[in-house]
Chain A
Amino acid sequence: MSLRALSGTLCLVFAASVGAQGNGRGAPPRLRGDVPLLLFRAIRAQPTLKYTGTYIVEFRQSSPPVRHQELITRDGSQYRIDFPTDSQFAGQVIVEDSHVRLHYHPIANEIIQQPPRHGESWEKVANLATDPKFHLSTAEGQVVAGLKTEQLVVSDKFGNIIQRLFIEPNSGVILKRQIFDLVGTQAGFFEFTQIDLAPKIDPTAFVIKRKNAAVITPETQLQRVCKRQGFVYRVINPSSGFLLESAIGRKFAGIQGIVETYVNGRIRLWVYILKSPVDPMRLRQQARKSEHFYSWHSGEETIVLIGNLPEKSLENLAGAMSVGTPPPPAKL
């Protein structure tokens, strides 16, 4: 296949795949002209990848770094995640397709129903091929999970490495991904330790059936945490395109707060609510270039929206935030 034909095919695949994420955000962005073939292969393979395997995930942003193992079963856009029997997450099961993510917690006997998440990571990889701010190059890879890989190096315009992807070139599967912080320290990674690229997968693997389990939505989680911490229930209207993914209570410099996370494809939005004043000038001084925010006070609470969105969009989203009672519990 000629390069032109391959590019055309990949454009179609890319357009179809991004469109399939279903966020209704219009035409997909245009592919760059300097995208390495290795990344093309990875993008092309994403919608049809089928494998089972085990990988390690490590987050270094917490202290000490946290590492755990996940057992993955994947068939295209369908995923199932289990955990080893000696894991602190043993018994939890996550299944996900292009519409919903269900996370079963055995002790609470609850199924957390959330927006799908894999689309976000897939779109982030696809974004490498469209966003001109990334400088892409290839390098020799490593043997990962017994398979030889080629390396895609993603840098900024100054040559600072942002991430490294180790891709098995024939299948296009990303076997290892490292993310680096601003000073080049590895902030986190995932790496396959074992993978089967031709597995037999039982279709029922992607179904969670538990008759007496309660189905909990992120809105219910938010209601719980608001009740426990004495906060007003505030949520961004889903008609904005941003879906609530999670809500947790957290302390910020000793002050109680709530963090709400929203997703809209690969765009994430964080809402911080604190029972304390927050100085917008200080936020502006300390925020990074890509971090935009909009904040306001309501009663004794300060609400801060942070995301990689123009401040005007954040202001509009603030207008889409409603105060009141959550919807009734979901049913599967």
Chain B
Amino acid sequence: MKPVDNEVEDAKLNSAGQMAIRSMIQALPEEPVSMAWRSALNEQLLASAAKQRKKRRLLWFASPAAGLTLVTALAFVVMFQPAKHIAANVSDHGVESAILSDHHSATLTSEVSTAGLNLNEVTNDANESDPVDGVWSESDVESL
């Protein structure tokens, strides 16, 4: 700090306002701290410390346990992911209805066809077959 600045600060500290506040504080009566208050404070500090220790001990056990649980859950998700080909809920897909519906159609139409083409052959066996792989069904085409 420059000397000029020091002189300015001293002047401020010795101003009349500062001097008045200083004398007021010096005039305040000195109150001795009671033993009872100190004792109460100590008890509070001890209780607080005990709580802190308990909390720390709990965390010491809980943190690894929580971590272990998290790791186990992640492992379950990764290791035991449900297979993709199994429908999450078969009933929602109505696979049973679809099977029976197909069967009803097949039963009815087998009554109509004689020596000629049946419904499967009419819907699948048009002359659009691959010359190498033979007759293709609709699902074969979908799987391409």
Determine which of B115, B130, B143 lies in contact with A118 in the assembled complex, contact meaning CB atoms within 8 Å.
Answer: B115
Report the minimal beta-carbon distance from B105 to chain A, rounded to whole angstroms.
Answer: 4
Once the chains bind, are A279 and B115 in contact (CB under 8 Å)? no
A31-39, A65-73, A318-326: which lies at the interface: A65-73
| Complex Cα gap A57–B129 (Å) | 22
Once the chains bind, are A181 and B108 in contact (CB under 8 Å)? yes
A21 within 8 A of B: no
Report the minimal beta-carbon distance from B18 to chain A, rounded to whole angstroms.
Answer: 88
Once the chains bind, are B96 and A88 in contact (CB under 8 Å)? no
Determine which of A72, A228, A257, A276 lies in contact with B143 in the assembled complex, contact meaning CB atoms within 8 Å.
Answer: A228
**Chain A window 196-211, contacts with chain B (Cβ cutoff 8 Å), 1 for yes, 0 for no:** 0000000000000000
**Chain B window 65-88, contacts with chain A (Cβ cutoff 8 Å), 1 for yes, 0 for no:** 000000000000000000101110
| Complex Cα gap A280–B7 (Å) | 102
**Closest B residue to A246 using CB positions:** B120
Once the chains bind, are B115 and A96 in contact (CB under 8 Å)? yes
Report the minimal beta-carbon distance from B40 to chain A, rounded to whole angstroms.
Answer: 71
Once the chains bind, are B125 and A253 in contact (CB under 8 Å)? no
Once the chains bind, are A109 and B131 in contact (CB under 8 Å)? yes
**Chain B window 112-131, contacts with chain A (Cβ cutoff 8 Å), 1 for yes, 0 for no:** 11111111111111111111
Instruction: Please tell me the size bucket of the interface on B.
Output: 35 or more
A136 within 8 A of B: no
B110 within 8 A of A: yes
A313 within 8 A of B: no
**Chain A window 251-263, contacts with chain B (Cβ cutoff 8 Å), 1 for yes, 0 for no:** 1111111010100
A124 within 8 A of B: yes
Which residues in B have their C-beta under 8 angstroms from that of A57? 112-113, 116-117, 122
A6-14, A141-149, A186-194: which lies at the interface: A186-194
B contact residues vs A (CB 8 Å cutoff): 83, 85-87, 90-91, 93-100, 102-131, 133-135, 137-140, 142-143
Q: What are 16 A-B pairs with beta-carbon distances under 8 A? A: A61-B105, A88-B126, A101-B115, A108-B135, A121-B111, A124-B111, A163-B111, A187-B112, A248-B124, A252-B102, A272-B99, A272-B103, A283-B99, A286-B97, A291-B100, A304-B99
A contact residues vs B (CB 8 Å cutoff): 57-59, 61-62, 66, 68, 70, 72, 74, 79, 81, 88-92, 94, 96, 101, 103, 105-110, 112, 117-118, 120-121, 124, 163, 177, 179, 181, 187-190, 214, 216, 221, 224-225, 228-229, 246, 248-257, 259, 261, 268, 270, 272, 274-279, 282-283, 286-288, 291, 300, 304, 306
